Structure 1
Amino acid sequence: MLTLRTGKYTRQLAELDPAENYHEMVRIMAEHEFPLDTLIAGELAQLKTFGIPGIARLLHQTGRYEKESTKRLDDTKAILREIMQPGPDSPAGREMVGHLNQIHGFYKIPNHEFLYTLSLFIFETVRWNAVFGWRAMTVNEKEALYREFRDLGEAMNIQDIPPSYEAFEQWKTAYEQAHQTYTPEAEKVTVGILGGLAALLPVWIRPLTQTLVATLINDEQLLKVLGLKAPPLWQQRSILGLMKTRAWLGRHFNLWEKRSFADSRIINHYIHYPNGYQRMRLGPKVLVGRIYARKPLEQTD
């Protein structure tokens, strides 16, 4: 049900200090101020990692986006929620970070790839709101987002996290310029995630998934890197027109003005887990089985 936007959450965010209250600020943004935008940005952040050859190669080798894309998307959403909702420094958050670190420990992933992936969950959210959201994020909101994900990175033992929002943004830009390139693996994994994303959309819009995603990526170079073609201009203009209408509506109405997005059917809907999930069993089945059996890895799924 549409409710008039009162601006109370915007005012709360403006009154909070990102140096002290960044977790509360991120919670307000994710549950009331920019909830759906944050969710969509997180999905696109995953897709953008494929532009790095090492990441695309590993993801192709595991086959998780190509063989069980909806499970991979569900696992990522659930794991991040289990960490970020209570906070990376909370007991529940630390427990889930430990679980995530154990899963990652089965692979030889260089620190710079962890760092780049971490950066995307910050800067894709900022980009999305600036281009498609009902308003752009403020300096303090960006700082809060940076600090929250910095905490996550530190909990994951990621090294050399840049010391400020601005420094991290510069690092991300330079990293993309140095490493982002097309590979066949990137194209294959992209096709896989598009299938998973289609399953999240209403049936009537699923045939347009690639057109929709390519338009929302809004980056011609990245489309080439991922092996995607830019849609015809008339399709792009139609989608962008709908997004402008959505932004206008968002300035005046808020679906989560009186309720939390954390309780909504959207965030709680998991295709692979229709009856709910066991939080410490999230992740690739074989790897989770190895964790619990305390056996060395013999194969990946």
Structure 2
Amino acid sequence: MTSPCLDAERDHLAIMGRLFRGDFALEIRLGAALALFRVFAVPRISGLLAQTRAWERRPQQRLDRTVDLLSVLVEQGYDSGAGAAALARLNAVHARHAIANEDFVYVLAAFVTEPERVIGRYGKRPLRPVERTAAYVFWREVGVRMGIREIPGSFAAMQRFQMEYDARHRHFAACNQVTAEGALAAISRVVPAPLRGAVREVVLALLEPEVRRACGFAGEEPRLGRALDVLVAARRRVCGWLSN
């Protein structure tokens, strides 16, 4: 449980560490994976990813790198030796391509808002205000160290930026589907083969409808959405009883 004495700005690393290792270990990792699909739903970003063919040829490697980067930054800190080295490698990869600053801001925003959305809908409780702000501060500081400019000044401002960017740039394109299918394949490989179809169903149910359609999954309306909502409601009731 987050101490009421913690300050979101000063103690954001400690707060993120507690969330990452404790109450929302699964939700934060899942939110980071779903953030990728939000990014894939934008052709001006997925088009570049499709050109590299990394999510088509080496999807598991790309997914593993994303999870490893998140773990290093949260567990060891962005200014630790390992954290700084990871960001340096990431910056070197990005430097090979002409990427607009607002695209960088959008990707950063996805890693702020998507875990919060997943926790709000599927976690045992919503994030507290201090936790939400700490998550924003954490990713803001990561963005600063990546040289990203004009980062929105709060969690709410980041959400507004994201909505405006989506309205301008998110729509279906073939390159969206190529990268999204690669990521789905990588996620599915973490379970035994007979369960991989279920993993696809779960991921599609977790995605926002607009993201799902823009990624080319419009014809695959998930059947598990209602079942997940029922399970989450039951989980929250049980957690409420246990905390009393």
TM-score normalised by L of structure 1 = 0.75
Do residues 229 (structure 1) and 218 (structure 2) align? yes
Provide the residue aligned with 1:42 in structure 2: 32
CA offsets 1:242-291 (integer angstroms, 9 cap, x no match): 3434444555679xxxxxxxxxxxxxxxxxxxxxxxxxxxxxxxxxxxxx
Alpha carbons of structure 1 residues 207 and 171: separation in structure 2 relative to 1, 3 Å: same
C-alpha separation between the residues in 2 aligned to 1:49 and 1:125? 14
Q: Is the 8 A contact 2:201 2:222 kept in 1?
A: no
Matches within 5 A, 1:83-122: 83-122=73-112
C-alpha separation between the residues in 2 aligned to 1:253 and 1:189? 42
C-alpha separation between the residues in 2 aligned to 1:77 and 1:91? 18
- Percent sequence identity is 25
CA offsets 1:88-113 (integer angstroms, 9 cap, x no match): 12333222211211121112221111
Alpha carbons of structure 1 residues 41 and 250: separation in structure 2 relative to 1, 3 Å: farther
Q: Is the 8 A contact 1:214 1:229 kept in 2?
A: no
CA offsets 1:99-153 (integer angstroms, 9 cap, x no match): 2111211122211111101001110011111111111011111110000000000
Would you say how many aligned residue pairs link Structure 1 and Structure 2?
243
- Ranges in structure 2 where 5+ consecutive residues have no aligned partner: none
Provide the residue aligned with 1:259 in structure 2: none
Note the aligned Cα RMSD (angstroms): 2.0
Secondary structure at the aligned position of 1:85 is classed as helix
Q: Is the 8 A contact 1:89 1:151 kept in 2?
A: no
Q: Which amino acid aligns with 1:141?
A: E
Provide the residue aligned with 1:20 in structure 2: 10
Q: Which amino acid aligns with 2:228?
A: I
Q: Is the 8 A contact 1:215 1:230 kept in 2?
A: no
C-alpha separation between the residues in 1 aligned to 2:47 and 2:203? 22
Q: Is the 8 A contact 1:220 1:230 kept in 2?
A: no
Do residues 171 (structure 1) and 129 (structure 2) align? no
Q: Is the 8 A contact 1:38 1:125 kept in 2?
A: yes
Provide the residue aligned with 2:66 in structure 1: 76
Give the deviation of 1:42 after TM superposition.
Answer: 0.5
Alpha carbons of structure 1 residues 235 and 138: separation in structure 2 relative to 1, 3 Å: closer
C-alpha separation between the residues in 1 aligned to 2:206 and 2:218? 13
Alpha carbons of structure 1 residues 187 and 223: separation in structure 2 relative to 1, 3 Å: same
Q: Is the 8 A contact 1:18 1:140 kept in 2?
A: yes
Greater shift in the superposed pair: 165-174 or 147-156: 165-174
Match of 2:171 among 174, 181, 184: 181
Alpha carbons of structure 1 residues 63 and 245: separation in structure 2 relative to 1, 3 Å: farther
C-alpha separation between the residues in 2 aligned to 1:244 and 1:74? 31
Secondary structure at the aligned position of 2:76 is classed as coil
Provide the residue aligned with 2:126 in structure 1: 136
Q: Is the 8 A contact 2:189 2:196 kept in 1?
A: yes
Q: Which amino acid aligns with 1:145?
A: A
Provide the residue aligned with 1:61 in structure 2: 51
Do residues 208 (structure 1) and 189 (structure 2) align? no
- Ranges in structure 1 where 5+ consecutive residues have no aligned partner: 1-8, 255-301
Q: Which amino acid aligns with 1:221?
A: E
Give the greater-gyration-radius structure (CA).
Answer: 1
Q: Which amino acid aligns with 2:89?
A: H
Alpha carbons of structure 1 residues 47 and 232: separation in structure 2 relative to 1, 3 Å: closer
